[in-house]
C-alpha cells in the first residue's frame, strides 16, 4: 500500500526547533529564580503552603523544589536534579539548580547564533571534565593539614545560609561530635560513617541553644505500663515485629462450635498462646521488649511482674536501627522449622542500660552503651514545629557534609572561590582550543560566575564590582607562580569584601563542588538535546466505544 505524503494525523500538538528550546529554558529559569534568593549566608527563606494548608518554612533547595508542583517536563528535570544532589552529597541543592539553569540559558543563546547543539554539548562535556580535574588537582586541600577545626568549619559553612546560623558554633560542634560517634570500620578496613545511626528528636520548648547530644539511641515513646521499672541494666533487648495481644484467628478461618462449654476453652487458649509467647521471651533472658505492634493489658501484666520494660508501637525504622546497634535480630514470627514456637537467646541484642527519661512533655526511652556501633541522638529544642523542622533539615545537610569531608578528606574554599577560579581557568582553556567547542567552553566559564554573583546580590552588595575583583585575584593566582596561595580567595559577604576563605574557615568538601558541576552539566545537556516536543491529547472517547 502506498503511503500518502500527507502529514501524519497525530492527536496532539507538536512544537519543534527553537520554540521548544526557548520554552524549556524559560521553564528552568523560572524554577531557578524561585530558589535563587535562598543561596548564601544571607539568603532568604521560602514559605510554602500546600493544598491542605500545611506550612513549611525552609531554605533548603531540595525541599523547596520537592514541595512545588512542577508541571513543565523540562523543569521537572531540575527538581530531580536537586533531589539527586541531596541524595549524593546532602548539601548544595540550590547551587546545582542555579548553575544548570544558567548553563541552559547560555547554551540557548549560542543555538540562536547558529551553533549546533551537538557542538555545545561536546564543549560542555569537555569543560565539565576539565573543571572537575582542576578542582581535584589544584583547588583541594587535604583535611589532615587542618584538623578537627576544619570539620567544624565545614559544618558552619553548610549552616551559614540556614536558620541556625546564629548558633552555628554550638550546632557545628554537635554535628561533628555526632558524626564522629558513629564511626565504624567495615570488613575491608574502610572507615565509614553511617549517619543513619544519628537519630534526631525534636522537642518543643526552651531555646535552640539548649539542644544537646545524647549518647544512646532515643525512642520517642514511653514504657507501655507505669508499673515497669524506669531503668534496666544491663539490657537484653528483643526486637519483635508482631502483636502481643490476645491471639485471634486469621481472617477467613472459621471455628464451628457445637458445645458452648468448648467456647470458654477456646477463649482461654487464645489468652494462653500470648502468655506462652511472653514466657518464652522472658525465659530467653529478655528484659527489654520492643515491638512495632500492640501489647494488650493482659500481656502487660506479665512484663510488669518480670520487671521488664516493654515498649509498643515503635517505629519500624527505629526498631531497625536499635537492632543493628545492639546486635539483635528482628523477629517476625516465633515459628520454627518444626512448626513449634521457639525463641532463642541468640536473637537478643545487648546494651549497657535502657532508661526512660522525661524530655520536654514526652517520655523517651534511651538505649545506651550499645554493643556494635555507637548510636547517638541529637535532641533539638525550639519554639515551634516550623523552626524544629527547619533545624532538622539544616542539621541533615551539615551532617552529610561532615560525613563527606571525613570520607574523602578533601576540602575547598567556599564563598564563590572555586567558581571564580574555574571560570578564569576555563576561559583561558577556551582560547587555546581551535575547535568549535571554544565558544561553548567560554560560555560554561561565564555560567559558573552566577554563583558569586547571586551570593553578592543576595547580600545586597555590588555584584559586578565584587566578581570583577574576585576574578582579578584568581587570574593572578593562576598566572604567577609565587601567588598560588590566592586561589582560596572568596567573598566575605557581611562586609562586602574579598578575603582568603581557606584561612577564614569557609570550607566545603571538594566532592560537593565536583558533583554540583557534573550533575548541573548533565541536566543542562539532557534538556538541551530536546528539539521536539509532542504533547498527546487524551482521547475523550471511552475505550471500546468505537
Give me the pLDDT at residue 25, please: 87
Which H or E element spans position 445?
Answer: helix 437-448
- Cis amide linkage into residue 234, ω under 30° from 0: yes
**Mean of all residue pLDDT scores within the chain:** 80
- For residue 46, what are the contacts with CB-CB under 8 A and spacing of at least 6? 34, 35, 38, 57, 58, 59, 64
d(CA 195, CA 375): 9
Nearest to 306 by CA among 236, 382, 228, 367: 228
Q: What's the confidence (pLDDT) of residue 5?
A: 45
**What whole-number distance in Å separates Cα of residue 445 and Cα of residue 514?**
15
Catalytic residue among 56, 58, 63, 93: 93
- For the chain, helix, strand, coil in percent to 5 are 50, 20, 30
d(CA 416, CA 487): 11
Q: In whole angstroms, give the CA distance from residue 477 to residue 479.
A: 6
Q: CB-based contacts of 97: which residues, under 8 Å, 6+ apart? A: 31, 32, 35, 61, 65, 78, 81, 82, 520
Burial class (CB in 10 A: 0-12, 13-18, 19+), 211: buried
Q: Considering the candidates 58, 373, 397, 521, report the single residue annotated as catalytic.
A: 397
Candidate list 94, 221, 292, 370, residue with the active-site label = 94
What does the alpha-carbon distance between residue 316 and residue 464 come to, in Å, rounded to a whole number?
53
Grid cell, residue 268, equals 482461654
pLDDT for 336: 66
For 294, residues 6+ apart whose C-beta sits below 8 A from its C-beta are: 243, 244, 245, 312, 313
Question: Active-site residue 94, yes or no?
Answer: yes
Nearest to 519 by CA among 62, 112, 162, 10: 62
370 is catalytic: no
pLDDT in tens, 220-242: 777 777 777 778 878 788 888 77
Give dist(CA 82, CA 94) in Å, integer. 7
- Segments of 306-456 assigned E as strands: 309-311, 330-331, 349-359, 362-370, 376-382, 410-413
Contact 292, 241 (CB under 8 A): yes
d(CA 329, CA 311): 16
| CB neighbour class for 465 (10 Å; exposed up to 12, middle 13-18, buried from 19) | exposed
Instruction: Give the separation between CA 334 and CA 342, rounded to whole angstroms.
Output: 5
Measured CA to CA, the distance from residue 324 to residue 350 in angstroms comes to 11
Considering the candidates 56, 58, 60, 63, report the single residue annotated as catalytic. Answer: 60
- pLDDT given at position 360: 67
Model confidence over 480-498: pLDDT tens digits? 877 777 777 888 878 888 8
As given in the structure block, the three cell numbers for residue 56 are: 513549611
pLDDT, position 4? 43
Distance CA 332, CA 539 (A): 48
- Chain-centroid distance, C-alpha 77: 18
29 to 24, 25, 444, 471: CA distances (angstroms): 9, 6, 16, 25
| Residue given cell 527547619 in the structure block | 390
Evaluate whether 350 touches 234 at the Cβ level (below 8 Å).
yes
Where do we find the cell 518554612? 57
Helices H, strands E: what count in the chain?
17, 22
Task: Judge whether 93 counts as a catalytic residue.
Answer: yes
- Cβ contacts of 431 within 8 Å, gap of 6 or more: 438
CA dihedral 524→528→529→530, nearest 10 degrees, is 120
Question: 0.85 exceeded by the pTM?
Answer: no
Q: Is 297 part of the annotated catalytic residue set?
A: no
Domains of the chain by range and CATH? 217-373 (3.50.7.10)
Task: Give the pLDDT confidence of 396-434 residue by residue, as tens digits.
Answer: 888 888 888 887 788 888 888 888 888 988 888 888 887
All residue ranges of the chain with pLDDT < 70 are 1-10, 144-147, 165, 189, 246-250, 335-340, 360-361, 371-374, 539-546
The three-state secondary structure class of 46 is strand
Amino acid at each position: 500500500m502506498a503511503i500518502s505524503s500527507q502529514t501524519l494525523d497525530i492527536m496532539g500538538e507538536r512544537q519543534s526547533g527553537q520554540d521548544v528550546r526557548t520554552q524549556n529554558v524559560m521553564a528552568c529559569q523560572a524554577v531557578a529564580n524561585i530558589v535563587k534568593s535562598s543561596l548564601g549566608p544571607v539568603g532568604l527563606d521560602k514559605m510554602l503552603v500546600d493544598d491542605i494548608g500545611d506550612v513549611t518554612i525552609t531554605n533548603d533547595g531540595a525541599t523547596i523544589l520537592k514541595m512545588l508542583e512542577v508541571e513543565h517536563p523540562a523543569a521537572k528535570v531540575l527538581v530531580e536534579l536537586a533531589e539527586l544532589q541531596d541524595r549524593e552529597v546532602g548539601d548544595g541543592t540550590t547551587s546545582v539548580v542555579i548553575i544548570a539553569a544558567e548553563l541552559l540559558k547560555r547554551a540557548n543563546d549560542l543555538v540562536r547564533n547558529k551553533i549546533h547543539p551537538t557542538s555545545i554539548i561536546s564543549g560542555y562535556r569537555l569543560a565539565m571534565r576539565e573543571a572537575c580535574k582542576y578542582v581535584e588537582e589544584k583547588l583541594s586541600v587535604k583535611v589532615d593539614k587542618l584538623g578537627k577545626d576544619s570539620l567544624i568549619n565545614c559544618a558552619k559553612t553548610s549552616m551559614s545560609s540556614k536558620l541556625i546560623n546564629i548558633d552555628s558554633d554550638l550546632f557545628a560542634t554537635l554535628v561533628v561530635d555526632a558524626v564522629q560517634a558513629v564511626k565504624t570500620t567495615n570488613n575491608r578496613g574502610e572507615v565509614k560513617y553511617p549517619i543513619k545511626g544519628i537519630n534526631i528528636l525534636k522537642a518543643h520548648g526552651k531555646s535552640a541553644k539548649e539542644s544537646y547530644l545524647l549518647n544512646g539511641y532515643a525512642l520517642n515513646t514511653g514504657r507501655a505500663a507505669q508499673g515497669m521499672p524506669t531503668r534496666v541494666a544491663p539490657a537484653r533487648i528483643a526486637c519483635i515485629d508482631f502483636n502481643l495481644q490476645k491471639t485471634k484467628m486469621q481472617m477467613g478461618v472459621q471455628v464451628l462450635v457445637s458445645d458452648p462449654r468448648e467456647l470458654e476453652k477456646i477463649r482461654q487458649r487464645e489468652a494462653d498462646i500470648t502468655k506462652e509467647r511472653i514466657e518464652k521471651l522472658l525465659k530467653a533472658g529478655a528484659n527489654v521488649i520492643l515491638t512495632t505492634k500492640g501489647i494488650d493489658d493482659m500481656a502487660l501484666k506479665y512484663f510488669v511482674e518480670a520487671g521488664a520494660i516493654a515498649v509498643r508501637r515503635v517505629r519500624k525504622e527505629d526498631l531497625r536501627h536499635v537492632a543493628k546497634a545492639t546486635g539483635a535480630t528482628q523477629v517476625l514470627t516465633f515459628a520454627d522449622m518444626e512448626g513449634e514456637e521457639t525463641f532463642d537467646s541468640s536473637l537478643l541484642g545487648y546494651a549497657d542500660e535502657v532508661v526512660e527519661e522525661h524530655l520536654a512533655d514526652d517520655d523517651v526511652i534511651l538505649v545506651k552503651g550499645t554493643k556494635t556501633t555507637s548510636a547517638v541522638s541529637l535532641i533539638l529544642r525550639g519554639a515551634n514545629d516550623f523552626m524544629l523542622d527547619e533545624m532538622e533539615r539544616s542539621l541533615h545537610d551539615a551532617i552529610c557534609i561532615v560525613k563527606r569531608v571525613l570520607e574523602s578528606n578533601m576540602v575547598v574554599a567556599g564563598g564563590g572561590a572555586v567558581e571564580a577560579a574555574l571560570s578564569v581557568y576555563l576561559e583561558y582553556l577556551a582560547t587555546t582550543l581551535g575547535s568549535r567547542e571554544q565558544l561553548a567552553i567560554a560560555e560554561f566559564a561565564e555560567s559558573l560566575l552566577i554563583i558569586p554573583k547571586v551570593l553578592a546580590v543576595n547580600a545586597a552588595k555590588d555584584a559586578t564590582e565584587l566578581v570583577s575583583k574576585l576574578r582579578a585575584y584568581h587570574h593572578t593566582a593562576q598566572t604567577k607562580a609565587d601567588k598560588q596561595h590566592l586561589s582560596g580567595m572568596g567573598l566575605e559577604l557581611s562586609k562586602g569584601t574579598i578575603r582568603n576563605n581557606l584561612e577564614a574557615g569557609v570550607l566545603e568538601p571538594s566532592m560537593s563542588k565536583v558533583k554540583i558541576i557534573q550533575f548541573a552539566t548533565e541536566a543542562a545537556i539532557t534538556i538541551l538535546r530536546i528539539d521536539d516536543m509532542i504533547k498527546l491529547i487524551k482521547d475523550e472517547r471511552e475505550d471500546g466505544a468505537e
